[in-house]
Structure 1
């Protein structure tokens, strides 16, 4: 089996790292948390310094003032300063502020303890340290994630902590003498130190990508943020286009015609990844949609025999593939006979084959064991051997229809080759008859990308040969929970189908959508399986009702100069996340520790 677990593992780790950054509470919860910190925690700290009725009133006013200031400035930042930044909606600026208040509260709590033991002014001094910590954090966040100009990012970082520290100092003056002019120089000095500490931290992380992969880590992170949060694919795809290379891409087109085009099986030798709407992740559904629109028929796009060697670098490359397929599909179909559908089992491998004229339609599955990417060498070998047996064209499909939590099986390529040839020879040995084709597609409204169903929906292609009725069910998803394939096939057979096979497109449009160990749900994991099977049975029945005599033909086209991002580069980008995080962990203590020592020294010697 192709050695892709390391790539899949690194990509899943990268997706998990990114996805863990995007938990976002509702607006209502954000407001309640903000109120809890400002009025509850911060106000309470202030009250403990001045245990009196007057102190209680002032503490409530302080908390309300901080709450109002934070909310108003967050609204101003998200709706004016960062208005054109799709990341920073009000909920997200509030989430940043809540975390900032958590940091600041820790400092204020420490200040409270020391001020009760020593001098009350210590509380305000440590509050100033909290101001610097919060400002540093905001500089790191806004400078690394916002795609707007430097001035806008700096103002967004600075304006709110400044307003809040001035409020704290102002309320302090209600109990003590004026200290504004004493603290003002320190606000300037601390702000400068915070900025340079954050800038140094980000610069050193950024150099990790430049040094190892010739990619700046921070802009890459920012591009991913724009995709994750706002669904913008272009910023991230610019990196893939830059890192990619040109390749010659093959696509197998098998078209079935009656008096007009009835159905099509389209198999591009492109991996539908890497995730979400990036690269070729949406290619199966996009190709299906555009082909159906042009030829007024149903089509399906199962997965070929390949791995992450050929992910398209951008949706621009998708269009190049789609346009080439449509332009090449106006050919005349000539083959009118087919063999019955055959299945061969050998060493936990199942190969299915059906011959249409001079075309072999062959698929592999390891179900109920994990069926992931299969080696390209297998496809090359089968096509070459099938040609020796008289086949003009071979479509070889990875059913990609079972996944477990166990490690993938170590498969012998020799066994895969042997079972492939055995199934082709068996299909060739059977009598060939005229065939009928029926096809239907459904788009279940109950299932979404988060549930593991892509926009291509579920398609059932039914083939009837000499009273043998076979259903090819193609689901636009990324693999399927173990055991579901067998259950679907059993249900189809109970409804009168003699044979069936279930396929997924391996679309990575469902990846990096949800939190979890994989970053996606395989088909059936988050779906109502009973409802899913009902949909499959219904469309297979409806497809059988549309059966009509057809002719077919398979052609192979080649699309030149397609920009792809290979396995090695994807592996590098995925590992960059881990490297950056490890570097960040190493830098946190020395950079911010030194920053803290400098700030404490200023307070100790000059205030």
Structure 2
């Protein structure tokens, strides 16, 4: 028997790569960093060499600006127009600054060696420029996805300029400098040889870390990393093709409730797709709530609420283009009216863990363990609970996960106490008799919220649905987000109660479009201005109440075939990523140190 599985630790390890992502400063700030770094380095290098402070400030600072910062800045400025016009100058300024920092570390080590061991500084200058090359190459190839040829060409610019400027300054400068390369042609050849050693080391590391993914999925980790960075930097979707290689074709369902006014025009559509809205960013199904609602609203002219079905990451669509399959199914179901029901009743178990509305014998049931942690409910459990609902008398049962309490990250599995809590709750209810059901009124309000994805809100924004049945009222507040902090949910519930509703709750779509630079979790309320959000919800509730009118409801479900990650493939991928990271942590430093020693040895014998 399975129990609740805590996958939080494995997720955190796998997605800790997100910790390496951050927003770059403005171009002017990066230039300031570059000049400050190189000026300081020039001063420190002069002081280590024995110069007094004033001489170090004047001459060392000048060397740092002209010989280190100058070539780096020119290389960064030349890169966008010559090699990658679609990439911004900001990215190349950051690479130039990072490569200069690496170069400075080597020069500091060289100056200390000259001072204490009497070693020659020239080889350190050449090795430093070889490292500049490898930093540029790795950043352009892995981070910006420029390909081998362009990455190699871009990476040569700063070392070439370094050699040229040092040679010119040594011959025509106003004062002598230790940063002399002698023959520029010979120096550049030596830099290329040392860079070749580092490239071989990079290839060796790539070969080793490719092994786990190649064995498990038949995909290249290096290719996946390149496309992964391309996605983060530019929103590219090439990673979908890699993901499709270990995905599988499945058949799932999508449910829709079409609400019509008395004149038969469509008032609103509730959509419950049994696919997961992940994995992250704009890949796969991450943006489906916004895309589906936008397309359905454009074609039907009615506000659309997209809920989170009882599915987990196994049902992440591989392709974002699969959205059209789901949208077409919704349109087809909405346009064929059959079995419209104009009477309804609220249903709920005493704890409220299962609550919804019965339209005749059709039930829209919503699930949540809040304020306890509530995470994804896998498809098998969802089907088991739907069958239980049908067993107690519901003809159709659409189950939506409210996904509204982010705490410990527990996943629901068959046999857990939480599963039986849901099962017992559904067993305790049944469709109210026809005589006890009353005509209902529905009001809808929509709002685009003033928040970014980094702040936890997706493009669908806010939807509010208000139901009035037999003198009682309920309010559903749906936000395009990936779960919510319990404290925020409590404040939303208080707001709903102040409006006089008998029942209400906060729902999120579980959209992983908000999982961008923020890493593993980015629930509603973590980076969201609660005051502005609650104000927007309050205004939307007012509009929804004013919008209420008599309606009928018709249920429909349709099967859809699409390609998804597949059963347990995400956990397997996480394991492969963890293996890759573990291997890289051991192998990469060893290989780099060996390559550094080999490069120095190679230059020493030439």
1:180-205 Cα distance to aligned partner (Å, 9 max, x none): 27746533432332332233333333
SS of residue paired to 1:491:
helix
Is the deviation greater in 135-144 or in 591-600? 135-144
Could you tell me whether the CA contact under 8 Å between 1:351 and 1:420 is conserved in 2?
yes
Q: Which residue of 2 aligns with 1:478?
A: 482
1:309-367 Cα distance to aligned partner (Å, 9 max, x none): 21111111111111222123212254444343233235xx6211321022111111111
Q: Which residue of 2 aligns with 1:541?
A: 542
SS of residue paired to 1:483:
helix
Is the deviation greater in 491-500 or in 573-582? 573-582
State yes or no: 1:145 paired with 2:155: no
SS of residue paired to 1:67:
helix
SS of residue paired to 1:223:
helix
Q: Which residue of 2 aligns with 1:132?
A: 130
d(CA) in 1 for partners of 2:376 and 2:214?
Answer: 31
SS of residue paired to 1:211:
helix
SS of residue paired to 2:349:
strand
d(CA) in 1 for partners of 2:406 and 2:253?
Answer: 27
d(CA) in 1 for partners of 2:563 and 2:411?
Answer: 30
Q: CA deviation at 1:169?
A: 5.1
Q: Which residue of 2 aligns with 1:584?
A: 584
Q: Which residue of 2 aligns with 1:30?
A: 30
Query: Alpha carbons of 1:502 and 1:99: their partners in 2 closer, same or farther (altered >3 Å)?
Result: same
1:1-60 Cα distance to aligned partner (Å, 9 max, x none): 987855555444333313414452332221112112222213541475474898876544
Q: CA deviation at 1:293?
A: 1.5
Task: Work out which of the residue numbers 246, 266, 269 in structure 2 matches 1:243.
Answer: 246
Q: Which residue of 2 aligns with 1:423?
A: 429
d(CA) in 1 for partners of 2:32 and 2:575?
Answer: 38
Structure 2 regions of 5+ residues with no counterpart?
A: none
Could you tell me whether the CA contact under 8 Å between 2:259 and 2:551 is conserved in 1?
yes
1:201-350 equivalences in 2 (<5 Å): 201-233=205-237, 235-258=238-261, 259=263, 260-346=265-351, 350=353
Q: Which residue of 1 aligns with 2:444?
A: 439
Q: Which residue of 2 aligns with 1:159?
A: 157
Q: Which residue of 2 aligns with 1:531?
A: 532
d(CA) in 2 for partners of 1:370 and 1:204?
Answer: 39
d(CA) in 2 for partners of 1:61 and 1:487?
Answer: 59
SS of residue paired to 1:489:
helix
Q: CA deviation at 1:537?
A: 2.4
d(CA) in 2 for partners of 1:570 and 1:542?
Answer: 41
Q: Which residue of 1 aligns with 2:508?
A: 504
1:69-123 Cα distance to aligned partner (Å, 9 max, x none): 2111111112211224x4xx2222222222222222222112222323454x622
d(CA) in 1 for partners of 2:547 and 2:58?
Answer: 78
Query: Alpha carbons of 1:335 and 1:358: their partners in 2 closer, same or farther (altered >3 Å)?
Result: farther
Query: Alpha carbons of 1:374 and 1:201: their partners in 2 closer, same or farther (altered >3 Å)?
Result: closer
Q: Which residue of 1 aligns with 2:84?
A: 82
State yes or no: 1:193 paired with 2:206: no
d(CA) in 1 for partners of 2:126 and 2:214?
Answer: 36
Could you tell me whether the CA contact under 8 Å between 1:7 and 1:567 is conserved in 2?
no
Q: Which residue of 2 aligns with 1:386?
A: 389
Could you tell me whether the CA contact under 8 Å between 1:213 and 1:572 is conserved in 2?
no
Query: Alpha carbons of 1:5 and 1:101: their partners in 2 closer, same or farther (altered >3 Å)?
Result: farther
- What's the TM-score, normalizing by structure 1? 0.90
d(CA) in 2 for partners of 1:443 and 1:354?
Answer: 27
SS of residue paired to 1:366:
coil
Structure 1 regions of 5+ residues with no counterpart?
A: none
Q: CA deviation at 1:171?
A: 4.2
Q: Which residue of 1 aligns with 2:594?
A: 594
Could you tell me whether the CA contact under 8 Å between 1:16 and 1:519 is conserved in 2?
no
Q: Which residue of 2 aligns with 1:63?
A: 64
d(CA) in 1 for partners of 2:58 and 2:342?
Answer: 90
Query: Alpha carbons of 1:80 and 1:535: their partners in 2 closer, same or farther (altered >3 Å)?
Result: same
d(CA) in 2 for partners of 1:63 and 1:325?
Answer: 64
Could you tell me whether the CA contact under 8 Å between 1:257 and 1:552 is conserved in 2?
yes
State yes or no: 1:100 paired with 2:103: no
d(CA) in 2 for partners of 1:182 and 1:441?
Answer: 68
d(CA) in 1 for partners of 2:435 and 2:405?
Answer: 30
Could you tell me whether the CA contact under 8 Å between 2:287 and 2:513 is conserved in 1?
yes
Could you tell me whether the CA contact under 8 Å between 2:7 and 2:411 is conserved in 1?
no
Query: Alpha carbons of 1:472 and 1:57: their partners in 2 closer, same or farther (altered >3 Å)?
Result: closer
SS of residue paired to 1:329:
helix
d(CA) in 1 for partners of 2:503 and 2:230?
Answer: 46
Task: Work out which of the residue numbers 417, 420, 424 in structure 2 matches 1:411.
Answer: 417
d(CA) in 1 for partners of 2:186 and 2:336?
Answer: 84
d(CA) in 2 for partners of 1:389 and 1:568?
Answer: 31
Query: Alpha carbons of 1:605 and 1:280: their partners in 2 closer, same or farther (altered >3 Å)?
Result: closer
1:468-491 Cα distance to aligned partner (Å, 9 max, x none): 111122111111111333332232
d(CA) in 2 for partners of 1:208 and 1:230?
Answer: 27
RMSD: 2.8
Query: Alpha carbons of 1:4 and 1:453: their partners in 2 closer, same or farther (altered >3 Å)?
Result: farther
1:511-542 Cα distance to aligned partner (Å, 9 max, x none): 12325xx342x112222323322322221221
d(CA) in 2 for partners of 1:182 and 1:226?
Answer: 36
1:446-499 Cα distance to aligned partner (Å, 9 max, x none): x22111111111111111111111112211111111133333223222222222
Could you tell me whether the CA contact under 8 Å between 1:136 and 1:194 is conserved in 2?
yes
d(CA) in 2 for partners of 1:594 and 1:581?
Answer: 20
State yes or no: 1:73 paired with 2:75: yes
Query: Alpha carbons of 1:45 and 1:69: their partners in 2 closer, same or farther (altered >3 Å)?
Result: same
| Count of residue pairs brought into register by the alignment | 593
